[in-house]
Amino acid sequence: MTTSAPAKRERPKYLNLPALLFEIRLPLPGKVSILHRVSGVLLFFPFAAWLLYALDRSLTSEQDFAQVQAYLRLPLVKLGLLVFIWAFCHHLCAGVRFLFLDLDKGIDLKAARVSAALVLAVSLLMTAFFAVKLW
């Protein structure tokens, strides 16, 4: 008597960091969405505390203000400020895009891809503009 065994089902694949980075190919709107989340985290956790600390120090006395000015002239600190500026610009542009998506504007595939590319381009142009002013 022959019984047919059910075909062996593949086990579910759990996502890990290498899979997210190298196996899954997200479309551009998906990448913009993830970058929006990353920029929001960067704005909240390290940079807000860093800038508030620098503001607190600069308002304490004239000597502390001069120290903060000298600190902000360091190349590594300027690079950190540039990352902060990118995070702010990207978060702002992507947030406006998501507000329009919430209003059902630009929902179709072509418009979503164009708006995602526009967010990346505008945020990088804004970052480049402020980088020129910073350096």
pLDDT score recorded for residue 12 = 64
> pTM for this one?
0.79
What's the average pLDDT block by block, 10 residues per block, for the chain (135 residues)?
64 68 81 93 90 94 95 94 95 96 93 96 97 91
In the prediction, which pLDDT does 23 show?
A: 73
Quote the pLDDT of residue 112.
94
How far is 89 from 123, CA to CA, in rounded Å? 5
The full DSSP string for the chain is ---PPPPPPPPPPPP-HHIIIII----HHHHHHHHHHHHHHHIIIIIHHHHHHHHHHHTT-HHHHHHHHHHHTSHHHHHHHHHHHHHHHHHHHHHHHHHHHHTT-S-SHHHHHHHHHHHHHHHHHHHHHHHHHH-
Domains of the chain: 26-134 (1.20.1300.10)
Q: ∠ CA 127-25-102 to the nearest 5 degrees?
A: 60
| pLDDT at residue 21 in the model | 66
